[in-house]
Homo-oligomer: A and B are copies of this chain.
Amino acid sequence: MDLDVQVTSNQLAQSNLLRQVLADVTPQLSEGKVATYIPALARVSRRSLSIATAGCDGVDASAGEASTRFSIQSISKIFSLALVLNLGRGEDLWKRVGTEPSGDPFNSIVLLEREAGVPRNPFINPGAIVVADMLCSILAEDPVKKLNELLSELCGSEIASDLEVAESEAAHGYKNASLANLLKSYGNLRNDVDQVLDVYFRQCSISMSAIELAAASRFLASDGYDPVSSKRVVSSADARRINALMLMAGTYDAAGAFAFEIGIPCKSGVGGGIVGIIPDAASVCVWSPGLDETGNSLVGRAALASFVNRSGLSVF
């Protein structure tokens, strides 16, 4: 592709910036706490660190272990949401899931009950479970297979779930089982509880690298259309809405602090990955498995702060 040739110097500058960002945060690598609720996650080294960007101009850059795959966990919620919107079911969806900030820990059953079974947004667990339920209803085939096909197409490499992780999630997934049953009791789950949970656990266990995640979320920085794979994923308006939701609810109970300190839409996962979107410029993915007390990658968060600070990028 022509793009590659003409932007070499841009790419060099970008890679240089990313190396500086990693140097900024390396001293903090010992501080976070790796998620240990399932063995497959606990096994990852806390010193892992990577960053990758995917520009709207097609220019990619990266630094650190950027090809090492990790469990994307809740970052998958971006893609399952995009898939429902891609399938034209936004209108149905926004009747069953809200668009408000969560304002409480990411698993909270309290909010779900207070709101009679309508989760506040699609990025808290109950909201993502409703999204998974919609995919089960809409698609004839396995929703996770479809999701992996979309991701493979967007990042140009074969993406799959890690079934060992998925099984571990299922074996320890009592809180999600509680949420799914509560949704079912309110009539906001159409399919079998076990079937929906199986989809949800397999979607969370998808493995991707920072390079792949940056590439796969580039469409959100490009008005819903990925210029590299030439695929329109969602409409321009829906891309803006996903970004707005990420800003307000993408990083659990720390969404306010992320918006205040970092100022770009982000979505994190307990595997230590965080995806950030700079509209009309680039997507960025950082990974470092040590988590802070809000469940977000401690070093990843610091790296994003350094990145926006050094680059001057912000939506505000």
Contacts and interface: CB of A to CB of B under 8 A. Distances in A.
B100 A256 contact: yes
Q: Is the interface of A mostly helix, strand, loop or mixed?
A: helix
A299 to B, nearest CB: 21
A193 interface: yes
A284 to B, nearest CB: 15
Interface in A246-274: 247-249, 253, 255-257, 259-260, 263, 265
Contacts of A98: 256
Given A99-B256, A175-B181, 14 more contacts: A101-B255, A101-B256, A108-B113, A109-B109, A109-B178, A174-B181, A174-B182, A177-B181, A240-B263, A244-B259, A247-B248, A247-B259, A248-B255, A277-B316
Q: Which 4 A/B pairs are nearest by Cβ-Cβ distance?
A: A103-B103, A100-B256, A101-B101, A174-B185
A314 interface: yes
Interface residues of A, number: 47
A253 B244 CA distance: 16
A182 B104 contact: no
- What copy number does this chain have within its complex? 4
Contacts of A178: 109, 177-182, 184-185
Contacts of A277: 316
A315 interface: yes
A286 to B, nearest CB: 20
Contact of A260 (B175, B185, B245, B316): B245
A304 to B, nearest CB: 14
Contacts of A104: 103
A146 to B, nearest CB: 25
A111 B144 CA distance: 35
A248 to B, nearest CB: 6
A279 B264 CA distance: 13
